[in-house]
Amino acid sequence: MVANMFDGPTTTDLDPAERRARLRLARSPRIGPVKFHEALQHFGSARRACRDLPVTPEGEIAHEEQALGKLGGRFLIFGDADYPAALAALPDAPPMLSAIGNVGLPARPTLAIVGARDASLAGRRFAADLAITLGQAGFAVASGLARGIDAAAHEAALATGTIAVLAGGIDQVYPPQNERLQHAIAECGLLLAETPLGTPPIARSFPRRNRIVSGLSAGVIVIEAAERSGSLITAERALEQGREVFVVPGSPMDPRYGGSNSLIRDGAILVRDANDIMSVLGKPQSRPQAVEKPVQIPRNTETATVLQALGAVPTAVDELVRRCQVSAATVAEVLLALELEGRLERHRGNRVSLI
């Protein structure tokens, strides 16, 4: 049994002036994460750094913060109490993150699940099975919201807690195939983005996003990584960050496992099932609330309404949508969450019942 391995001295919230200064410093064009931390070190505080350096005007920051607030989000700033502790340990910790959703999730022991966009059905199924078991054991599941393995892991962990790190701004829907999932994570999990609102995801943002996915996590689980794939780079960065790398093996005849098998050959931990991960990292000390309260965070009245309308007698999903006066998408998310927990049974004619 282990606690979050990144437990450390609790940081207190920053005073408002230092907070604003850190935001201005972080959003300055030529100041990347490493420069940000150097400036903090050199000047002793962001306030003093802002006096001497050409930083972004306060107005721009206020404007972005307002826009984020309208989306239901807020900034997590390096040094704040709610800034993810695991990330703070990185030498290139993001100076700030936009966040929408449950900002308490990164306080849980977190595992990343990453892999191929063009994953096999079997690979996606395996990712989902792992995400469900690890989620129920108390881990938050982090990934990059890509198609394939990422999406399968997020979706399966919606009910227990999942963190998606975006390569673009937090208001950018990407990839388009995962639009519904992205909204569901904002609702039931946590969306994080390092780049400012309005920034489209560009090529060089993806490896930077990946360092956050692994940085949030005690370990990274790699499923179906081909040679020279992005998931391989994530695994290598994870090792540099001192994270465990867990890899699901596959046939050498399947090129989707070329990188995976190379990682294992180079010493990564082979994964046959969730126990192979928990035997290394231990089980979280407390199981997530979701296990006691079966469906997590029906955070608005709509989802609560759907839950109440469900019972042991099969009900048509269409009727559920009509009766609850809730969008079909919201109903679908709640049903999925219940199903993944084994509490929902599906019947012929698109009817469902609680078990």
Compute how many residues bind a second copy; rule: CB under 8 A: 21
Q: Does 231 bind a second copy (CB under 8 A)?
A: no
- Options 164-172, 243-251, 296-304, 306-314: segment touching a second copy (CB under 8 A): 243-251
By CB under 8 A, name the one of 32, 175, 201, 249 that touches a second copy: 249
Q: Cβ closer to a second copy: 271 or 321?
A: 271
Helix axes 121-137, 149-156, angle to 10 degrees: 30
Q: What is the DSSP string of 265-301?
A: HTTPEE-SSHHHHHHHH--BSS--HHHHSSS----SH
By CB under 8 A, name the one of 81, 122, 328, 355 that touches a second copy: 122
Q: Does 169 bind a second copy (CB under 8 A)?
A: no
Q: Does 33 bind a second copy (CB under 8 A)?
A: no
Q: Does 133 bind a second copy (CB under 8 A)?
A: no
Q: Cβ closer to a second copy: 201 or 249?
A: 249
* Greatest Cα pair distance in the chain: 68
Q: Does 269 bind a second copy (CB under 8 A)?
A: yes
Q: Does 253 bind a second copy (CB under 8 A)?
A: yes
Q: Cβ closer to a second copy: 31 or 281?
A: 281
Q: Does 195 bind a second copy (CB under 8 A)?
A: no
Q: Does 41 bind a second copy (CB under 8 A)?
A: no
Q: Which amino acid is at 134?
A: L
By CB under 8 A, name the one of 133, 172, 262, 353 that touches a second copy: 262
Q: Does 264 bind a second copy (CB under 8 A)?
A: yes
**What is the CA angle 181-27-112, rounded to 5?**
35
Contacts with 253 (C-beta within 8 Å, 6 or more apart), sequence order: none
Q: Is the peptide bond before 175 cis (omega within 30 degrees of 0)?
A: yes
Contacts with 225 (C-beta within 8 Å, 6 or more apart), sequence order: 114, 115, 116, 231, 232, 235, 247, 256, 257, 258, 259, 260, 263
Q: Does 153 bind a second copy (CB under 8 A)?
A: no
The answer to whether residues 161 and 290 touch, using CB atoms and an 8 Å cutoff, is yes
Q: Does 182 bind a second copy (CB under 8 A)?
A: no
Q: Does 148 bind a second copy (CB under 8 A)?
A: no
Q: Does 336 bind a second copy (CB under 8 A)?
A: no
Q: Does 160 bind a second copy (CB under 8 A)?
A: no
By CB under 8 A, name the one of 28, 45, 210, 261 that touches a second copy: 261
Q: Does 229 bind a second copy (CB under 8 A)?
A: no
- Options 91-99, 122-130, 155-163, 193-201: segment touching a second copy (CB under 8 A): 122-130
Contacts with 317 (C-beta within 8 Å, 6 or more apart), sequence order: 328, 331, 332, 335, 350, 351, 352
Sign of torsion over alpha carbons 234, 273, 155, 107: negative
Q: Does 212 bind a second copy (CB under 8 A)?
A: no
**What is the CA angle 314-315-317, rounded to 5?**
130
- Options 131-139, 145-153, 208-216, 270-278: segment touching a second copy (CB under 8 A): 270-278
How many beta carbons lie within 10 A of that of residue 327, not counting itself?
11
Q: Does 319 bind a second copy (CB under 8 A)?
A: no
Burial class (CB in 10 A: 0-12, 13-18, 19+), 147: middle
Q: Does 280 bind a second copy (CB under 8 A)?
A: no
Q: Does 344 bind a second copy (CB under 8 A)?
A: no
- Options 150-158, 165-173, 189-197, 268-276: segment touching a second copy (CB under 8 A): 268-276
By CB under 8 A, name the one of 10, 12, 66, 251 that touches a second copy: 251
The answer to whether residues 201 and 105 touch, using CB atoms and an 8 Å cutoff, is no
The answer to whether residues 143 and 114 touch, using CB atoms and an 8 Å cutoff, is yes
Binding-site ranges for a second copy (CB under 8 A): 122, 125-126, 248-253, 257-258, 261-262, 264-265, 269-273, 276
